[in-house]
Amino acid sequence: MDNARENIEPIVVTTYNCAICKQGFPTIESAVMCAKAHRKPLKIVGVEYAKKCAYPDTLVVQHSSGITVRYTRSEQIVVLLNKEEKLNK
């Protein structure tokens, strides 16, 4: 049994990661295809705030595909932001 352990060689595995989401792929072509499939935000075209809130509730973002998307945070995220604020003070 000791002899078998001495003959074990490590296996080299090459993984290519998407530059956007960092997901691993076996080939560089598949990683590049993943990166090209992501829609890149170009600019924030709108912001909405709730009353008495320092951070925006909604962002409207124009993407490289030409589509504009509205992102609204959830109550859970609001709670997390409030905890972070208290920790940073």
User: DSSP readout, 23-34?
Assistant: -EESSHHHHHHH
Length of the chain: 89
Instruction: Report the 3 state secondary structure along 46-76.
Output: EEEECCCCCCEEEEEEEECCCCEEEEECCHH
When pLDDT is cut at 50, 70 and 90, the band that residue 54 belongs to is confident
Do 32 and 44 have their domain in common?
Answer: no
Do 11 and 33 have their domain in common?
Answer: yes
Do 59 and 74 have their domain in common?
Answer: yes
Does 10 score more than 90 pLDDT? Answer: no
Do 55 and 66 have their domain in common?
Answer: yes
Do 48 and 85 have their domain in common?
Answer: yes
Q: What pLDDT digit, counting tens, does each position of 11-37 carry? A: 899 999 999 999 999 999 999 999 999
**Number of Cβ within a 10 Å radius of residue 31:** 21
Do 32 and 71 have their domain in common?
Answer: no
Residue range(s) defining the domain that contains residue 79? 39-89
Does 78 score more than 90 pLDDT? Answer: no
User: What is the pTM (predicted TM-score) of this model?
Assistant: 0.57
Task: Give the number of domains in the chain.
Answer: 2
Distance, CA of 58 to CA of 47 (rounded, Å): 6
